[in-house]
Chains A and B, each alone.
Chain A
């Protein structure tokens, strides 16, 4: 059906014309209907890049596949686990619904001793410190965009920050 043909070659060599532009406009409309940009993505990006200019390393986000593996069976229903990796810190957070529009965040950072954890939300910023095992908790957080900033003590007295991409709680 679409095997090479002189007609196809000739058409392919022609300049893009107004009919093509009309068709492509419809192609865009079709994809916009079938697979629209998710609501909130632009806002999430705008929220997330605000801190990007801050001095610090940006961590890489990895999602744990909740459908596979034994770990998923231990995790509370409806929870999601996200891992952030940077050159010398690994941070795993599990987000569990805790009420209407609220979540609990259980985190673990490695190496965790002395790490200060900042949770940046659109309306406020929460702070806590990781315990000697690297565990930290934000027990009651409103749903919405969130971003972590991790600061680890530096022998030289300077703090080195790791910034995570924003996630939606």
Chain B
């Protein structure tokens, strides 16, 4: 193990530092925190197949809830998990509500808002990325949702992030877990993949 004060900051620990400063009265740090964590929250709710507009609304209400409840969050280290769990619950709630209105809206099997477009037609810049996307698309939906979000986290935080997503212990971190292992196997058997 590395010396404690040399451990590099992770997404969760950077977030904790900013949130602790906010709780301590430095309100300017909240916009830094919003900038830091909105990408992982975006992918958390989009992995639940929420449409664009609803995903934006869910993220906004998640942040409002954080500001509202900031005094009750005793451990700043938990702020990333708190936000992810809140966003996921809110997304689930909205999905149920919208489902009742128009279930066909959520039939598309793609993660994207433009299910008519084949991935190749989308904006992937490199052949290798298109290849990777094709392998990701072959994974079970749970694995896609897990890896999509984990990709925005740092290694020491994987297990906590997976837990926030409601994934079973051991899904990822510190070991690879089956989802990442599946992707590794697929890529390993693809002669065209350049790692």
Contacts and interface: CB of A to CB of B under 8 A. Distances in A.
Given A33-B124, A42-B35, A165-B61, A19 B195 contact: yes
B184 A23 contact: yes
Interface string B28-69: 001100110011001100100000111011011101110110
A8 B38 contact: no
A12 B181 contact: yes
Given A21-B155, A27-B147, A68-B102, A34 B56 contact: no
A53 to B, nearest CB: 6
Contacts of A122: none
Interface stretch (A55-63, A126-134, A149-157): A55-63
Interface centre among B63, B147, B150 (most CB of A within 10 A): B63
A46 interface: yes
A38 interface: yes
Given A7-B185, A11-B181, A37-B39, A16 B176 contact: yes
Taking chain A's interface residues, is the majority helix, strand, or loop, or is none over half, making it mixed?
A: helix
A71 to B, nearest CB: 13
B128 A26 contact: yes
Interface string B138-152: 111000000110111
Contacts of B15: none
A61 B138 CA distance: 36
A13 to B, nearest CB: 6
Given A30-B124, A52-B67, A165-B60, A22 B195 contact: yes
A2 B182 contact: yes
Given A30-B133, A34-B112, A23 B187 contact: yes
Contacts of A38: 52, 56
A41 B56 contact: yes
Interface size class of A (residues with CB under 8 A): 35 or more
B155 A16 contact: yes
B175 interface: yes
Contact of B123 (A11, A24, A34): A34
Contact of B34 (A1, A16, A46, A68): A46
A25 B172 CA distance: 15
Contacts of A45: 34, 38, 59-60, 63
Interface in A64-105: 65, 67-68
A39 to B, nearest CB: 11
B136 A30 contact: yes
Given A16-B172, A34-B133, A49-B63, A8 B182 contact: yes
A51 to B, nearest CB: 9
Interface of B: 27, 30-31, 34-35, 38-39, 42-43, 46, 52-54, 56-57, 59-61, 63-65, 67-68, 97-98, 101-102, 111-113, 119, 122-125, 128-129, 132-133, 136, 138-140, 147-148, 150-152, 155, 158, 172-178, 180-187, 195
28 contacts: A2-B140, A8-B182, A13-B175, A16-B155, A16-B175, A23-B180, A23-B184, A24-B147, A27-B132, A27-B151, A29-B129, A30-B133, A33-B123, A33-B124, A34-B111, A34-B119, A38-B52, A41-B56, A42-B35, A42-B38, A45-B63, A52-B67, A53-B67, A58-B65, A60-B61, A61-B61, A63-B53, A165-B57
